[in-house]
Structure 1
Amino acid sequence: MNIDRYHHQHADIRSGVSQLRNLVQGGIAANAEAIAQALIGMSTTIKFHLASEDAMLYPALNESSDRAVAELGRRYQNEMRGLIGSYTEFSGKWRVASQIAAAPEQFRSEANVVFKALHGRIQREDQELYPAVEAL
């Protein structure tokens, strides 16, 4: 299975997080509009990535004759549900610039939690899941 698109999507997500980080460092209230727009754009990439994994990658892993790989896929799929729920709640709450500007420290705090979880997930996929898929 060719998973190059997943690697490219991870790069796009990392780039989006870096862009958000730079905007936040420049001042949350001052950059609230740009932050909201970046968050909306990044949300599209993240949701597409997770939906693609859910629709194509995990079903392929579940059909694997390698029981360890099939179980790994099920574990990642189950974990993904919690992550997408958290991310969807976060992005829905903070998609409007005025909300970001009104509560900049709350935005920063919640963003740190969500993006730390997202970063950890991407790292685990790159180090564990994708190598297992590529070895099939």
Structure 2
Amino acid sequence: MSRTANLRRQHDAAVIIVGEINNLLLARPGIEARDGAFQASLLLAKLTGLLRIHFAQEDRQLYPSLMASGRGGVAEIARRFFEEMGDLGQAYGAFAQRWESATQILNDPRGFRRESKVIFTALADRITRENEQLYPHADAAIDTDASLRAA
């Protein structure tokens, strides 16, 4: 199993949850109804739990280890990604706190839609870039290091 397999599974789960929230955002009455807002708050709580674990694994383990790896290309990609996207965890945390209850969503459904679009777009961008650009390099670096240790 690759080093990033669990992180990729977490990405897949996050995409599914975001899709479910987006379906509620598009539905009528959707989040304007108490049931829809409640369902959105439950999904948001589920996503928040997943992302807390995910961001901690990436931002405290994967990124620092890749940046310190001594492998120029991988270290540079990790450093660049961390600088460009490293504050997403904090931004997401603030978003989730603002919208943690159905009441908060019901009080400003347009604000919830607007902020959801921004944060979910940033999250989708990070997921895509990590899956396509960072993780393959991370897995290759780990595979190479493992083969060197075995030799």
In the alignment, structure 2 segments of 5+ residues that lack a partner are 142-151
Between stretches 66-75 and 28-37, larger displacement belongs to: 66-75
Q: Decide which of 67, 79, 82 is 2:84's aligned counterpart.
A: 79
The letter for the 2-side match of 1:37 is: L
Question: How high is the TM-score relative to the length of structure 1?
Answer: 0.93
Shift in Å, 1:59: 2.4
Which residue is 2:32 aligned to?
Answer: 29
Shift in Å, 1:80: 3.4
CA distance in 2, matches of 1:21, 1:80: 22
Instruction: Indicate the SS of the match to 2:89.
Output: helix
Shift in Å, 1:79: 2.9
CA distance in 2, matches of 1:18, 1:73: 27
Between stretches 104-113 and 58-67, larger displacement belongs to: 58-67
Instruction: Indicate the SS of the match to 2:52.
Output: helix
Count of residue correspondences: 136
In the alignment, structure 1 segments of 5+ residues that lack a partner are none
1:54-97: CA deviation from partner (whole Å, max 9, x where unpaired): 22211220232311211211222223332112111111000011
CA distance in 2, matches of 1:14, 1:89: 19
Percent identity at matched positions? Answer: 36
Indicate conservation of the 8 Å contact 2:59/2:86, yes or no.
no
5 Å-filtered alignment, 1:39-58, equals 39-58=44-63
Matched, 1:115 2:116: no
Indicate conservation of the 8 Å contact 1:50/1:80, yes or no.
no
